[in-house]
Amino acid sequence: MRVFHDLEEYRCSDLSGRKAGSAVTLGKFDGIHTGHRKLVQNIVSYAQSHHLTSVVFAIEVDRDAILSHEERALYLESLGVDVLVECPFSRQFMHLNPEAFVRTILEETLHTRYAAVGTDFVFGHNREGNASDLQAICETYGCRTLILEKERYQGEDVSSTRVREALGKGDMELAEALLGRPYPICGTVEHGAHIGTGIGIPTVNLALDAHKILPPDGVYASITTLPDHSVRRGLTDIGTRPTVGGGTRRAETTLMDFHSDLYGSWISHELLRFIRPETKFSSLDDLKNQIQKDRRAAWG
């Protein structure tokens, strides 16, 4: 999958001159919940059957995201997307009226022949265009548009707002249901203070993306996918490690039955459920004993 960080970067690429056309879905896509995934899978399927390029056009907004840019790109690639265009919400972009938006972006830049959006999609200056407007304008350019109903869970619409609320409460089970997969934390393994190694419980440390939403500090049952694609059960502690005088917020994971060197490797943790809040212990022995209790609580 190819990733472009703005429209100008896409226009300067070899893809821009291709006239074969694309199948596009548009939105914020900051979390790729089950509703987003339905849209993505729809355009990927259509593109493959009609020999088009599948494009996710992600409108970037100035707020913390459920997934980091790297996490989002990896997930979209796993869904079969050909191109991700990350479009910052610039002043120029903001002032496009609905017709100009379709003409300059969908027709002239992306050569869109098929588009899929949700019923709540809005676009153009002051959000004056809706999904039906998009469908009507696209039709004048020979572009078919499909409007998909929102996904629902437990009688309510699936949305990024619901995912954010679930994460804010540490309700990882609800977040997983809305996302369609466990909540991920991905990154490169860094060196820590090696305190865990010193007490016989080595840890895997990831620096956290400053713009990524995280659940409350605490200990979570987690599974980790390693570079060789094997999976290990573990415990992930999100927080500042008060027992050992930490200060920077990190994700520190103890893996069961694993002691190899992972420094510099890209790995993915998936948080399954909340175990307990982060606590300051009076000694490292107390911390070690609590970790053993946490393991039993998480995995039996």
Digit-coded pLDDT (tens) for 160-200: 999 999 999 999 999 999 999 999 999 888 876 555 454 45
Q: What is the mean pLDDT of residues 228-249?
A: 81
More confident residue, 18 or 223: 223
Residue 276 structural domain: 182-299
Q: Residue 268 falls within a domain, yes or no?
A: yes
Q: What is the mean pLDDT of residues 280-285?
A: 78
Question: Of the given ranges (111-115, 227-231, 246-250, 286-290), which has the lowest mean pLDDT?
Answer: 246-250
> Is the pLDDT at 252 greater than 80, yes or no?
yes
More confident residue, 2 or 201: 2
Most confident among 53-67, 100-114, 280-294 (mean pLDDT)? 100-114
* 189 and 133 within one domain: no
- Each residue's pLDDT tens digit, 120-168: 999 988 889 999 999 999 999 999 999 999 999 999 999 999 999 999 9
* 186 and 143 within one domain: no
What pTM, to 2 d.p., does this model score?
Answer: 0.90
Which of the listed residues 132, 153, 174 is the one where a domain comes to its end? 153
The total number of structural domains in the chain stands at 2
Give percent of the chain with pLDDT exceeding 90. 61
Q: What is the CATH number of the domain that holds 191?
A: 2.40.30.30
* 147 and 9 within one domain: yes
Angle at 126 between CA 125 and CA 129, to 5 degrees: 70
* 13 and 104 within one domain: yes
> Is the pLDDT at 80 greater than 90, yes or no?
yes
For the record, the structure tokens of 243 come out as 């027992």
Give percent of the chain with pLDDT exceeding 70. 92
* 269 and 229 within one domain: yes
> Is the pLDDT at 235 greater than 60, yes or no?
yes
pLDDT at 260: 76
> Is the pLDDT at 286 greater than 60, yes or no?
yes
Which of the listed residues 104, 138, 153 is the one where a domain comes to its end? 153
Give residue 237's identity as a one-letter amino acid code.
D
Which of the listed residues 136, 153, 170 is the one where a domain comes to its end? 153
* 149 and 197 within one domain: no
- Each residue's pLDDT tens digit, 12-64: 888 866 667 999 999 999 899 999 999 999 999 999 999 999 999 998 877 78
Across all residues in the chain, what is the average pLDDT?
89
> Is the pLDDT at 72 greater than 80, yes or no?
yes
> Is the pLDDT at 104 greater than 60, yes or no?
yes
- Confidence grade of residue 211 (pLDDT, cut at 50, 70, 90): confident
Q: Residue 130 falls within a domain, yes or no?
A: yes
